[in-house]
Amino acid sequence: MDKLFAKFANATARVTGSPPAFIVCVLLVVVWAASGPIFKFSETWQLVINTGTTIITFLMVFLIQNTQNRDGAAVQTKLDELILTSAAENDFIGIEKLTEKELAAMHARCTEHAQIAQERLDKISAERESRKTAKASPRAKRASAKRPPAKDAPARRVKTSS
């Protein structure tokens, strides 16, 4: 029964979420509105669209919720498997079942870890940049060492970067 309902819910969600289904619904509303003068905009005429949309909406809520529940469970299972097979903290497995307070605490912890990691990355980037700058100007380093010129050697010009 569960598999049959899951197949039905998936198929219905796929069909009703398509552009042709939307166009059919728009055409039904246009036909209903155009038929208003024929039925003299009676209560029965209004009741037809109200009842039809209410029933369809009521049933679609359950189908959509079922599809979303299964999709959410599948994503959580995939994420849990990735956590288990990686170097990530196993504390994150099943966090979708935590209370709001527990989730906020986990989020605060993750934010703190992210800030620490960002600080490390900034420090490494600054170190790389200083090394790159140092490599790019080795002549400037040598020129600033101020060695005495060799006897009888012509004067050398040192290029400085502007």
Q: What would the pLDDT profile of 141-152 be if each residue is shown by its tens digit?
A: 555 555 555 565
Q: How far is CA 29 from CA 21, 38, 112, 119, in A?
A: 13, 15, 53, 58
Q: Confidence class of residue 80 from pLDDT cuts 50, 70 and 90?
A: confident
Q: Confidence class of residue 30 from pLDDT cuts 50, 70 and 90?
A: very high
What percent of the chain is modeled with pLDDT above 90? 45
Find all residues with CB under 8 Å of 16, minimum gap 6, and list them: 60
Predicted local distance difference test score (pLDDT) of residue 27:
96
Least confident of 24-28, 124-128, 136-140: 136-140
Q: How far apart are CA 61 and CA 50, in angstroms?
A: 16
Q: Are 101 and 122 in contact (CB under 8 A)?
A: no
Q: How far apart are CA 103 and CA 107, in angstroms?
A: 6
Predicted local distance difference test score (pLDDT) of residue 87:
82
pTM, to two decimals: 0.54
